[in-house]
Structure formats: structure tokens, C-alpha cells
Amino acid sequence: MIKKLAGETWKPLTFSGWRQLRNRYAVSSLGRIASYKLDVLKDGKQLSGSLTTGYRTLNLHRPDNKGTLYIHREMAHLFLKKPSPKHKYVIHRNHNKLDNNIKNLRWTTLKQMIDHQQGSPAKIAYKEKQANRTEGLKLTATQVKKIKTILNNKNRNITIKQLAKNYAVSEMTMYRIKSGENWGRI
């Protein structure tokens, strides 16, 4: 038996193969998951699910199908209207992947999702840590300044391959320095 919380709405999960399973499954607008036979509130059992890359999932053994259901995506399908066909991704507004309250979920486009991820506290902390890193680097800031000067010179007579060989790094490192992906702060 599941106790209904204030303002909570339960909706049954319907997915390919759900009719062949012994139990039915439902999610609530507050992000809870349950399995049940006839009525989610009367004979339901709350489930904790599993974690897959930080997201709450439900792993089911369905005939001829993958077993993993991402709860936040299923909730978005059930509770939120897609603004357009381009809105294919579901984000957690507060960046907490375990907070599946419907108020915390939103359909987005690919660009909106990427922009949202860049504003994540974990991503910002990682960028800060990388920017202040001093150990394990193949190049120094002085070397990178010289490399950037050479790469930005319109009349350079050295190829990226030769430049990479001179500094004992890969060509890809040179391309990343040139694009600003690596050492962008210098």
C-alpha cells in the first residue's frame, strides 16, 4: 500500500511489452515509482529503481526489448507537453538527476540541453579545477602562448604536424589549442 502525498498524481507507465509483465508500473508527479497489480494506492509497492549514469532508472525484463526505462523521460512523456518536435531532451532544472519532481523537469532542444549542462555546478567546478591544474601537463603556459602566436600567424611556414612534433604533443592537441578547446584561457 502506498500513501498518497499532498498534490501527488499517479500515472501508469505504458511501454512496449508492458502487458506481458506480471506487475504494472506507475510514476507519480513527485517522482516516485511503484509496481502494482490492480491499484497503485491499494496494492502498490514503492520502488527505488536503479542508477544509470546518475539517473534513476527502472530495469525490466521485457520480451524483445531493452529493459532500462529512464524515469525522468517517462515522466516527461506522461506529464509534460512537448513544445515542438525539436524538443527531444529532458533536463533537470536544478541539475540534480535524482530530483524527478515534475516541476524540476523540462523538454528542451539539443542546444538548450547543452547550454543547460554548461551551467551545471559540477561542470563549472570541473572547469575551474582544470584551469588551475599544474600537474600532469605536457605544455607550459609560455609554450602555449608561443604556439598560439605561431598558429595565428598568416604567414607561418610550419605545418601543424611539424609544430606538434617540435613540442612532443599530438596534432589533435594543436588543433584543440587553435580552436580554444584546450588552453582557451590563455
Supply the pLDDT for residue 136.
81
Q: For residue 61, what pLDDT is reported? A: 78
pLDDT score of 127? 82
Q: Report the pLDDT value the prediction gives residue 15, as an integer from 0 to 100.
A: 82
What pLDDT is attached to residue 184?
A: 82
Looking at the chain, the whole-number percentage of residues with pLDDT higher than 70 is 99
Closest of 175, 164, 173 to residue 137, by C-alpha: 173
d(CA 56, CA 69): 9
Q: Taking the complete model, does pTM exceed 0.85, yes or no?
A: no
* 5-47 per-position pLDDT tens digit: 899 999 999 888 778 788 999 999 999 999 999 999 999 999 9
Alpha carbons within 13 A on the beta-carbon side of 168: 4
Torsion of CA 156, 158, 161, 166, to 10 degrees: -120
pLDDT for res 176: 92
Residue numbers of the chain with a pLDDT score lower than 50: none
